[in-house]
Amino acid sequence: MRDGGGAPVPDGRRPPHGEGHARGAHRRQRGKRRRRPAHRPGLLRRRARQAVQRPAEALRRVRAARAERHPQLHRRDTPQRWTVSDTAAEAVFLVTQFTVSNGGEEVNSQMQEAFQRRFGKGWRKPYHDLREAQDPEAFTVAKRPFHSDNPGRVRHGLNAMPDYGSIAKRDALVSGPSSSQAAAQRAALPAWARSVEGLRASLPHVESNAVMIPRRLSSDGRALAAMGPQVGYYSPQIFSEYELHGGGIDAEGVTFPGASPWPLIGHGIDFAWSGTSANGDNEDTFVERLCNPNGSRPSRSSTHYRYRGRCIRFRMRDQTVTTPYSVLNPTSPPEKITYRTMRSVHGPVFAFARVHGAPVALSKAKAVDFHELSAALPFMHLAENQATSARSFQRIFSPFPGTENWFYVDRRDVAFIQSGVYPRHARGTDVDRPYWGDGRADWQGFNPSAYTFRSIPSSHRPQALDPVRDHGLIISWNNKEAPGWRKGPTEWSNGPVHHAMILQRHVLREVHAHGGRINLTGLTRAVNETATTDLRGEDVYPLMRRVIEHGHGESERLLRILDAWHRSGSNRLDANGDNVYDHSAAVALMDAWWPRFVRAEFQPGLGVALFGKVESNILSLSSDFGWDWGSQVQKDLRNALGLHERGRYSRVYCGGPVAEPVRGPRLLHVRRSCRSVLLSTLRAAIADVKRRLGPNPSQWKVYATCKDSSTCDEIVPNTAGAVDTPAFPWQNRGTYHQIDEITGHR
């Protein structure tokens, strides 16, 4: 669920997957078939526009009536009235936030350059080890292949590589407080007001999950679903849950206030739906060659760029905003701030760089640009209950412009489809690198005036309907959608370890424990347990332990504490409500051990500088509980153990690096070296935890909530009003979570 301006009027970025509050188990049964409206595009657009206009008009009438009754309240600090333009702007923002992905080619180009500097001509092997673009062991949503765009063999001259270290973010500020002045003003605000400042940054880009159970695994023969899109936590919550009944509409669900008159996530009379952020390539970085019309040498301040043989001007617009009257500081005068947008035919300019020393601008092309309002139509169709089957649901969401996975359940079927318009890239381009913006590397059939282009056919997009493989489950948690569906340039975390696999494991455990079937209670239990599971303890620690085999003294005693945690489910959970994690000693130890071991495992092979660049730009070691490095660590440990794997790395990093193939006595030496790395980093972690929490592991406590949120895992809702919501213990679940079983069908 993840900007445009200046060409055709935006007509649709999908309002994101919704959320509100946990509802528990819903059982749906409704009747009466609704008459299907005519599918004339002009009629649909008029109806959608009217549906957006009516709430704004109603709000204006209410506001006018209140101002007439209470003129003393109609002051200068009264918010401006809401308009259709506000709804369109919010929709554009939300679609950009949640349904644009796979950009970042400029970041990846710098990573490739860093690998070349470290490894020379042999840089591609270690780069692809970590890149995980097409790992055959990746856990996918659809099990049969779907192929993203493949421009073929790379041809020289179509992609641009910015000079190493030359990329600088563009500052759009023309006049107003300097960055230091703005920082000082923010620091003077109360905490809740500062949190509003960071509202956009706090919205997640790649979260949300869905588990779809086919009826053959259901204890009562009806399909089941647990669907939890994640948009963070706010006070007040940024989702509104509501019902609409009447005028041909019969639906319940959630939306972002002002973004859509229809639910974005919810259920109709005999079906339910949800969404998760997808990994489709609908965003690219173009490198614009700067120029001057008089032929002089260009500079970063140049206002023109080369396109299709001409030196043309960037589309620029100055926008001045006046800060409103402040109830926090009534004596402070309003400030005028002017921003200047800069746009090429491809998209907004967000950075400058150099290529072979020449100045260039970097622009961001997004396939959803200027096609925003079409995103509203699927939600209108669902609110009118036009989805009468899984297949019709897939048809309804197929034209949705942004990249998103959409999930459907009714009494009989489960299904998903990845929506989105995905450009056909120029033949011979490298999809991991920025593209020249002078026209030679344009998307196939690109028309700058209409912002149209050739796209891959809808049949190439990942989808499934009552699948057969893997027990018929459909499981999504922002994992790769299908074999052959390439991950984006900065998406390096899709190998054999993924938290979506924990969902599957917990669901199958419930199935096997109850005679091969699962009910709504078991499904709820499975997703709840998954929400507090530590990926490292669940999927990677067993291999760490296997390499070590047996420790000595204190190390072995602490390893047994980790063993017990793993056997219990590797949860970060305060089950008895005393505000202390169960298995606190194991949690504290893993938190201290993991970053030390990952660094000691890969840094000798990559070098200090390259490892630091990977860690700071792509694979973070911050508190993600193994999400970023999990696959790389697990796969490398399997190499060190000589276990079977597909997509084997070019070398063993742990205790090395040692180039593959590694067999016989050489493998034994590698394993011993890797064991030494594990034990030395474990001892360092033990010493660190003892220094902070005391010498006795039985007294180590990891708190679920704390006074200083930087010292524990707690989730602190973003406050967007005068009253905040207390922090609560960490959990990785949907903001609005549906558990669905549909008992009837039209």
pLDDT at 318: 95
pLDDT at 709: 87
pLDDT at 624: 73
Q: State the Cα–Cα distance between residues 463 and 140, nearest whole angstrom.
A: 11
Give the end-to-end CA distance of the chain in Å, rounded to a whole number. 31
154 and 428 Cβ atoms separated by less than 8 Å = yes
In a domain, 689, yes or no: yes
Mean pLDDT over 57-86 rounds to 64
Instruction: Give me 597's structure tokens.
Output: 């071991």
Split at pLDDT 50, 70, 90, the class of 28 is very low
Least confident of 13-27, 268-282, 366-380, 586-600: 13-27
pLDDT at 710: 86
pLDDT at 720: 73
pLDDT at 18: 33
392 and 251 Cβ atoms separated by less than 8 Å = no
Q: What is the DSSP string of 591-656?
A: HHHHHHHHHHHHHHHH-HHHHHHHHHHTS--SSSTTTTTHHHHHHHHHHHHT---SS--SEE-TT-
Q: Could you read off the pLDDT of 436-492 as tens digits, one per residue?
A: 999 999 999 999 999 999 999 999 999 999 999 889 999 999 899 999 999 999 999
How far, in whole angstroms, is CA 165 from its chain's centroid? 26
- From residue 640, alpha-carbon distances to 97, 508, 547 in Å are 40, 30, 8
Question: What does the DSSP 8-state code read for residue 494?
Answer: -
In a domain, 611, yes or no: yes
Q: Could you read off the pLDDT of 193-239 as tens digits, one per residue?
A: 666 555 555 555 556 899 999 999 999 999 999 998 888 888 888 88
- What angle is formed at CA 205 by the lines to CA 719 and CA 487, rounded to 5 degrees? 170
Q: What is the percent of the chain with per-residue pLDDT over 70, rounded to a whole number?
A: 85
Q: Could you read off the pLDDT of 114-152 as tens digits, one per residue?
A: 999 999 999 999 999 999 999 999 999 999 999 999 999
Q: State the Cα–Cα distance between residues 615 and 318, nearest whole angstrom.
A: 37
The pTM for the full model equals 0.88
pLDDT at 56: 58
In a domain, 706, yes or no: yes
Q: Could you read off the pLDDT of 73-84 as tens digits, one per residue?
A: 445 556 778 888
Q: State the Cα–Cα distance between residues 647 and 657, nearest whole angstrom.
A: 18
At residue 430, does pLDDT exceed 70?
yes
pLDDT at 620: 94
Q: State the Cα–Cα distance between residues 57 and 592, nearest whole angstrom.
A: 56
Q: State the Cα–Cα distance between residues 351 and 522, nearest whole angstrom.
A: 50
Q: State the Cα–Cα distance between residues 50 and 247, nearest whole angstrom.
A: 13
703 and 713 Cβ atoms separated by less than 8 Å = no
In a domain, 664, yes or no: yes
At residue 20, does pLDDT exceed 60?
no
At residue 326, does pLDDT exceed 90?
no
pLDDT at 609: 98
Residue 225, φ and ψ in degrees, nearest 5:
-150, 145
Instruction: Give me 596's structure tokens.
Output: 């030390």
705 and 579 Cβ atoms separated by less than 8 Å = yes
* The length of the chain, given as a count of residues: 746
pLDDT at 10: 31
Mean pLDDT over 392-419 rounds to 97
In a domain, 638, yes or no: yes
Q: Could you read off the pLDDT of 606-639 as tens digits, one per residue?
A: 999 999 999 999 999 986 787 899 999 999 999 9
Least confident of 15-19, 84-88, 181-185: 15-19
Mean pLDDT over 568-573 rounds to 97
Q: Which residues contact 729 (CB under 8 A, 6 or more apart)?
A: 573, 574, 704, 705, 713, 714, 715
In a domain, 631, yes or no: yes
Using CB atoms within 10 Å of the CB of residue 545, give its burial: 0 to 12 exposed, 13 to 18 middle, 19+ buried. Answer: middle
At residue 5, does pLDDT exceed 60?
no
At residue 356, does pLDDT exceed 50?
yes
Q: Which residues contact 291 (CB under 8 A, 6 or more apart)?
A: 298, 302, 304, 305, 306, 311
404 and 99 Cβ atoms separated by less than 8 Å = yes
Split at pLDDT 50, 70, 90, the class of 373 is confident
In a domain, 91, yes or no: no
3-state class (DSSP) for residue 182 = helix
Q: State the Cα–Cα distance between residues 355 and 338, nearest whole angstrom.
A: 30
Indicate the average pLDDT of the chain.
88
Q: Provide the CATH number for the domain around residue 587.
A: 1.10.1400
Q: Could you read off the pLDDT of 666-716 as tens digits, one per residue?
A: 999 999 999 999 999 999 999 999 999 999 999 999 999 999 988 999 998
pLDDT at 333: 76
Q: What is the DSSP string of 270-310?
A: S-EEEEEE-----EEEEEEEEE-TT-PPP-TT--EEEETTE
Mean pLDDT over 23-44 rounds to 40
Q: Which residue, 93, 211, 126, is CA-closest to 479? A: 211
Q: Could you read off the pLDDT of 476-511 as tens digits, one per residue?
A: 998 999 999 999 999 999 899 999 999 999 999 999
281 and 431 Cβ atoms separated by less than 8 Å = yes
3-state DSSP percent of the chain in helix, strand and coil, to 5: 35, 20, 45
In a domain, 281, yes or no: no
pLDDT at 488: 92
CB count, 10 Å around CB of 523? Answer: 26
Q: Considering its fold, how many domains does the chain have in total? A: 1
At residue 9, does pLDDT exceed 50?
no
Q: Could you read off the pLDDT of 249-302 as tens digits, one per residue?
A: 999 999 998 888 999 999 999 999 999 989 899 999 999 999 999 999 999 999
Question: What does the DSSP 8-state code read for residue 329?
Answer: -
Q: State the Cα–Cα distance between residues 261 and 258, nearest whole angstrom.
A: 7
Mean pLDDT over 591-603 rounds to 98
At residue 105, does pLDDT exceed 70?
yes
693 and 609 Cβ atoms separated by less than 8 Å = no
3-state class (DSSP) for residue 101 = coil
At residue 524, does pLDDT exceed 60?
yes
Q: State the Cα–Cα distance between residues 489 and 456, nearest whole angstrom.
A: 19
Q: State the Cα–Cα distance between residues 20 and 17, nearest whole angstrom.
A: 11
Q: Name the E strands within 234-271.
A: 234-235, 240-246, 249-255, 265-267
Q: Which residue, 482, 491, 490, 594, is CA-closest to 538? A: 594
Single-letter amino acid, residue 667: L
Single-letter amino acid, residue 500: A
Q: State the Cα–Cα distance between residues 739 and 22, nearest whole angstrom.
A: 9
Q: State the Cα–Cα distance between residues 311 and 667, nearest whole angstrom.
A: 60
Range of the domain at 553: 533-710
Q: State the Cα–Cα distance between residues 653 and 651, nearest whole angstrom.
A: 6
